[in-house]
Structure 1
Amino acid sequence: MNEGTQAIDRVYAGLDWKLDDGILTVTIDRPECLNAIDTRTMNELTHVFARAHRDDAVRVVIVTGRGRAFCAGGDLRPGEATFDAVDQGRADSAADHVETGGPLAMSVFTNHKPFIAAINGPAVGIGLTLTLPMDLRIAVPGAKLAMSFVRRGIVPDACATWFLPRLVGAGTALDWAVSGRTFRSEEAHRAGLVDELCPAEELLERANERAREYLAAAPVAIAATRALVWRMAGAPHPLDAYAVEAPMIFELGARSDAREGVRAFLDKRPPRFTQRVSADMPSNYPWWDRAEALRPEGSLPPFA
């Protein structure tokens, strides 16, 4: 490990990361508290995801937890004033307050890279909501999940009231969010929130298998398609999607990745895509309000 990488590692007190052949594995590394996350760790997650967004060496992101939990939610050890932003010195008024779960969710939602949650144990509160903008959720059987916010006297965070109904429907979202009850990964699988159930000893291997499926696709096409699926879910008319897709297909169809994709198919070999999301996104991307563009503070060194 070079000196620059060591310096980067020291920034992330609550995380560990490994980049291997385009697959970035981010591990929430606070096993002493079942990976419950405080404000610093939440900001670290947002920052590392922003780095992945900008780094062409990263093709897919896997998120998991150290030890027997994925993430037990917010760290409640500060006591009864845990959620009091004024008491905790995080803000003087509602106008000053930035709820850190929102930027974390947006750092996944607006990302150019697909995300896989490898849920290795309990995922509660923010531990569950941070997975909602991700592309796949693979969980161990029997994992305890909960939208526990109402049982702590607050509402869901991390834009969960937008994401959850889109994934499981309003009825199931209301059941889980309004009751705050604990449910198992099997129920989440039946509802469509969890995509696969996988034994703990095979979880990361399976997550990497799914990640390699993304490696076989064109990075620019993945980034654009990911945004289209999420954004068009709320479009009022199918032609809204067509209005964005048609010029994208026209532009991308004339580029090297499209030619390589067809050539590789005809040659019966894996494609070798060369376009980069950092430089080669379609000219009509993003087509939404550019003010939403990911703007993390601080420098973002590449993964070494």
Structure 2
Amino acid sequence: MTYQTIIVDIADGIQQITLNRPDRLNAFNAPMMHELIAAFDDADANDDVRAVIVTGAGRAYCAGADLGEGGATFDYAKRPDQMEQGSPIRADGSVDYSHPGVRDGGGRLTLRIFNCKKPVIGAINGPAVGIGLTMTLPMDFRLASETARFGFVFTRRGIVPEAASSWFLPRLVGIGQALDWCYSGRVFDAAEALKGGLVRSLHAPDDLLPAARAFAQEMTAQSAPVSIALTRQMMWRMMGAEHPMIAHRLDSRAIWSRGQSDDAREGVQSFLEKREAAYPNRVSTDFPDFGELLGDPEYR
């Protein structure tokens, strides 16, 4: 796929996605949403990719939604790019809220990241505001430049948090901190983001990407890719489980599945022989039926 709003590079087992609208501070629009989703599809299908890093070109990570439409920016009923399957407005003027045209584009992206089978790291190199920040919440880790700034600015634009952030953010930082940042809509600095648990670490601007790449390689170099993929899905999905028995059921099924794999045999044998493992299973072909493990036939 030829990308217009992002740059995708793969090297040393890492797929780096760079938001690439620097003249607009990498503002998010519909083409960027579609291209980011496609890039994560590619990452899952490519067994040479062991981790994904997302960063921004120029001085910003992402300044939020592109406000080029002015006051109608968030009036999706007037935006043809949101009406791919017709209008959700009924003949009587009421809204069909189940219509796909009502869906938030940021949420479509964050759900795709949530479903990713590779570890995802946000390397936040500059301002990350609105969707530019909420898109990072389903990433496994956020590393930031010391000069980065952050803002859940939705209430200051007359809207509300999106991109499923009402699910992700309280789980990451706690409900009190989430409400503080979202009620006020204020922009805050990297030190506050670190203190509040939003980011893992801060780095000098020139050190950010090298640190993110080193961290990605450290996490994945000696682990079985299918085990990492399964672990990622297990951890994220059990955050919302109602009882530990649900996790026990999933753990048991996953151990049963993985225990019979060539990876498991290689993991034990390489340990006994005191050598590095060469895991034969591949995420693209050997990832188990997660819906069956989860006990949810509707899982997609």
TM over 0.5: yes
* Preserved CA contact (<8 Å) 1:224 1:285: no
Equivalent residue number for residue 141 of structure 2? 136
The one-character-per-residue Cα deviations of 1:252-296 (angstroms, maximum 9, x if unpaired) are 122211122223333333321111112212345552645452xxx
Report deviation, 1:13. Answer: 0.7
Report deviation, 1:165. Answer: 0.4
1:45 to 36, 54, 63: 36
Task: Specify whether residues 44 and 133 from structure 1 end up closer, same or farther in structure 2 by C-alpha distance, changes over 3 A only.
Answer: same
2:160 to 155, 159, 169: 155
Task: Specify whether residues 83 and 284 from structure 1 end up closer, same or farther in structure 2 by C-alpha distance, changes over 3 A only.
Answer: closer
2:281 to 252, 272, 275: 275
The one-character-per-residue Cα deviations of 1:174-233 (angstroms, maximum 9, x if unpaired) are 111111111112111112110111111111111111111223211111111111111111
Q: Tell me which amino acid in the other structure corresponds to 1:75.
A: D
Give the aligned CA root-mean-square deviation in angstroms: 1.6
* Preserved CA contact (<8 Å) 2:20 2:57: yes
Task: Specify whether residues 169 and 35 from structure 1 end up closer, same or farther in structure 2 by C-alpha distance, changes over 3 A only.
Answer: same
Aligned sequence identity (%): 46
Equivalent residue number for residue 113 of structure 1? 118
1:26 to 17, 29, 35: 17
Where do residues 1-304 of structure 1 align in structure 2 (5 Å cutoff)?
A: 8-9=1-2, 12-89=3-80, 90-91=82-83, 92-93=87-88, 94=97, 95=99, 96-213=101-218, 214-283=220-289, 285=291, 287=294, 289-293=296-300
Task: Specify whether residues 269 and 193 from structure 1 end up closer, same or farther in structure 2 by C-alpha distance, changes over 3 A only.
Answer: farther
Q: How many residues align?
A: 284
The one-character-per-residue Cα deviations of 1:18-56 (angstroms, maximum 9, x if unpaired) are 011321000000110111111111121112112212222
* Preserved CA contact (<8 Å) 1:115 1:135: yes
Q: Distance in 2 between matches of 1:161 and 1:98?
A: 15
Equivalent residue number for residue 301 of structure 1? none
Task: Specify whether residues 80 and 284 from structure 1 end up closer, same or farther in structure 2 by C-alpha distance, changes over 3 A only.
Answer: closer
The more displaced of 107-116 and 91-100 is: 91-100
Q: Distance in 2 between matches of 1:249 and 1:292?
A: 19
**Unaligned stretches of 5+ residues in structure 1:** 1-7, 294-304
Q: Distance in 1 between matches of 2:297 and 2:206?
A: 43
TM-score normalised by length of structure 1:
0.89
* Preserved CA contact (<8 Å) 1:148 1:181: yes
Q: Distance in 2 between matches of 1:97 and 1:60?
A: 32
Q: Tell me which amino acid in the other structure corresponds to 2:212.
A: A
Q: Tell me which amino acid in the other structure corresponds to 2:32.
A: T
Q: Distance in 2 between matches of 1:284 and 1:211?
A: 24
* Preserved CA contact (<8 Å) 2:291 2:297: no
Report deviation, 1:250. Answer: 2.2
